[in-house]
Amino acid sequence: MNKKYYFDTSIWLDFFENRDEANLPKGQWAHKLLNKIIKDDDKIVYSDNNLVELNLSNYDIDYINQILQPFRPVLIFVESTKKQIGKAKDFSAKRNIPKRDVLHALIARDNKAILVTLDKHFQKIIDITQPKKPQDLI
């Protein structure tokens, strides 16, 4: 059975920008994980929420599509639902975590995908989904 992964937008940025830091090779981890997913014939779920956040990081949709084109065989695009958006607003207010991050967790859970992130605040919503670090999945 194939696994499905859902990358938090920061993981996509690590991949796009090869964002490595001293003792924290985030870009390398993102590239290695993507290569592993392709090799294992697994899938990556990405969403309209990712696209909005990438756009807010100054990536236009045409450029995003160009970067993602070679990976289309492993990508699954989903749109967030009104129900997910409503739940994200509620959780965000109650747990003091950004709404879009809660939405990432809900989308991952609802699509039976492993949430991949390095952001520690996802630990506040482990009842939604158990986040995994890219380096732990390689």
CB 5, CB 116: distance < 8 Å: yes
CB 84, CB 98: distance < 8 Å: no
39-83 pLDDT, tens digit per residue, is 999 999 999 999 999 999 999 999 999 999 999 999 999 999 999
* CA–CA gap between residue 113 and residue 76 (Å, rounded): 11
Per the structure, the count of domains in the chain is: 1
What pLDDT is attached to residue 121?
A: 86
CB 119, CB 129: distance < 8 Å: no
Structural domain for 111, as ranges: 4-137
Mean pLDDT of 22-49: 96
3-class secondary-structure state, position 108 = helix
For the chain, the distance separating the N- and C-terminal CA atoms, rounded to the nearest angstrom, is 18
CATH at 117: 3.40.50.1010
Whole-structure pTM value: 0.94
CA angle 56/73/71 to nearest 5° reads 45
1-16 pLDDT, tens digit per residue, is 589 999 999 999 999 9
What pLDDT is attached to residue 1?
A: 58
